[in-house]
A and B are shown apart, each in its own frame.
Chain A
Amino acid sequence: MNRRQLLASVAALTTISLSVPAWAQNEPLKVGFIYVGPVGDGGWTYQHDQGRQAIEAEFGDRVETTFIESVPEGADAERAITQLALAGNKLIFTTSFGFMDATINVAQKFPDVKFEHATGYKRADNVATYDARFYEGRAVMGTIAGHMTESNKIGYIGSFPIPEVIQGINSSYIHAKKVNPDVEIRVVWAYSWFDPAKEADAAAALIAEGVDVILQHTDSTAPLAKAQEAGAIGFGQASDMSNFAPNPRVSSIIDNWAPYYLDRVGAVLDGTWESKATWAGIGDGEVEIGEITDAVPAEVKEAALALKDQIGSGEYHPFTGPLNKADGSEWLAEGQVATDEELSGMNFFVEGITAQIPE
């Protein structure tokens, strides 16, 4: 639905609700979504839209969903969110970090509308936040990477040096190192979530440095295409990217928002919704591991799945001491587990990573 249609429906709805007031009483719960990218990106926004479709499938006539796609993170976001609120949506999901302030601003003007902001940290009585523990999935990817590398060099394409991405690099490295003490990690920052040409070149640069396993925290499939050319392996990001299976894509980390979305819509329907912060992972089904292909030896696959189960059951935390920071100072003592506060503000690499975090 584009904005013009939305405006038209606002006008139509206003007319209807003015002329037939009783009709509004039995209206379905209207749920709106704001997406930062196109639904067809095959990654981040695609997965959020899968969650939206799950809501429609689960609640049927009791809900009505709307989305606005490709909303830039800026002044326009506030207008788009306001439009959704004016259109009668009682629950609005804003699905990118950059929508944080816009969401809070609009929420103040619409106290009886409930808002859910993905990956942010600012909350209000009618604004909840939610995020996924991607680093849990990265631990599994790291295990596979450590086993699979023959040059003992793995590469990582980062988007922006923010805590979420740094957690992923650390988690991948720690678990690759556990199974392969000789492993080294090379990091390239793309400074973009989505720039296929640049991501492809970043992969080529890593391959030129002798890397034979590429991990990525950017959204396009271009690094996989480069890996395929060079005979290296890689992983699907955000979405399964199974078009590249069985080689070079040997597994993937998938964001599955459906369980959370169903839970929250259900809470609004039965009146139990309240503002809170949610950070769910493998155990809650929010982070999934895509099928590990036969390009990976059976025992490696087994080790990876065992780690996944341990993390999922809460038996093991990917950030468990002893761990030191890259500058050599002690971070976690033997058996100590990182707190959520430490993780959500993570701004350092662990010992053994020689790359620098850009300031």
Chain B
Amino acid sequence: MIDLTTLIPALLVAATPILFAALGELIVEKSGVLNLGVEGMMITGALAGFAAAVATGSPMMGFVAAALAGAAIAMLFALLTQYLLANQVASGLALTLFGLGLAALFGKPYEGIKAPAMTSGPLGLNWMIWVGIAMVPVIWWFLNRTRGGLILRGVGENHDAAHGLGHPVRRVRIAAIGFGGAMAGMGGAFISIAIVLQWTEGMTAGAGWIALAIVVFSNWTAPGVLAGACLFGGVTALQLRLQAAGVAVPVQLLSMAPYLATIAVLVLISARQKFSRRAGTGAPGSLGQNFHALR
């Protein structure tokens, strides 16, 4: 009825944009910064990547440009929150609105143009899907097995203590924000260059918000992010295929599934916290708080 050989690639395709964005946001949040501007950085990357791919004829150049553009717009957020100490939630929301508007404005000349075709990699899957999957162990290893990862987590858990130890809190956070922007930009470019092959206004259609939810779902771990992205991507791909196959399933029920799973995971985590003093949530202690060294 439903062919697994077409379902699994579709699942991976649907999961990849949110996987990229969520991995980037994971690093940002681990450094103690809450950037709600993921959607804005994704749409900026979607446009910049598309424009570069059309101009150079090379989709790979598109992804490079998307990463640069995503990081560049993220620097605006870094300036606001790290130097001007603006509220992170408000700045992140503003970044989303700004990105959507900016991309719409500069996207006008690109409406109706087609992107250059991408060659597929191993197993007939797009190269960027493999890049996304490969990022999961890399980020896990960085966070848990390297000195840099330890500093990043330290800055996120308690910025005052990290500062006391002599770690450059602001610089670490700016680097994390830039990395998050680059990843979100590439996630957005995957939508315009690899899935839709076109530029249209508002084309990320809420993927950035799902990425934010997945970071919470994952309990701030890289393998959890992969699982969450596959769950969301899988449900999307599966429900469309069930419908196309004419199977009568309540579509709304399937659409709810990832959110129900998120709630279930959060309940499990808090229950575990209650019974075991050792295990905590993966949420960084200083998440969303601004740091000012001269306080």
A positions within 8 Å CB-CB of B: 37-38, 40-42, 155, 186-192, 194-198, 200-202, 204-206, 208-209, 211, 220-222, 225, 229, 243, 354-356, 358-359
Contact = CB atoms under 8 A, between A and B. Distances in A.
Contact of B205 (A40, A196, A208, A243): A196
A40 B204 CA distance: 16
B198 A222 contact: yes
Given A191-B251, A191-B255, A197-B205, 7 more contacts: A40-B201, A186-B246, A188-B240, A190-B240, A201-B240, A205-B10, A209-B244
Contacts of A206: 244
B203 interface: yes
B27 to A, nearest CB: 24
A186 B202 CA distance: 28
A22 B244 CA distance: 65
28 contacts: A38-B202, A40-B104, A42-B111, A42-B200, A186-B245, A188-B240, A188-B243, A196-B191, A197-B17, A197-B203, A197-B204, A197-B207, A198-B236, A201-B10, A201-B13, A201-B195, A201-B237, A201-B240, A205-B240, A205-B244, A208-B3, A208-B10, A208-B241, A209-B241, A222-B198, A229-B197, A354-B246, A358-B250
Interface in B8-60: 10, 13-14, 17
Interface string B166-203: 00000000000000000000000001000111101111
Contacts of B245: 186, 209
Nearest to A155: B244
A358 B251 CA distance: 7
Interface string B225-249: 0000000000011001101111010
A197 B10 contact: no
A204 B195 CA distance: 10
Contacts of A358: 250-252
B114 interface: yes
A188 B244 contact: yes
Contacts of B6: 204, 208
Nearest to A223: B196
Contact of B241 (A205, A211, A355): A205
B164 interface: no
Contacts of A198: 205, 236, 240
Given A41-B201, A42-B112, A225 B250 contact: no
A40 B103 CA distance: 12
Q: Name the 5 nearest CB pairs between A and B, nearest first.
A: A195-B205, A205-B244, A205-B240, A243-B112, A188-B243
B243 A196 contact: no
Given A196-B198, A196-B200, A355-B246, A189 B251 contact: yes
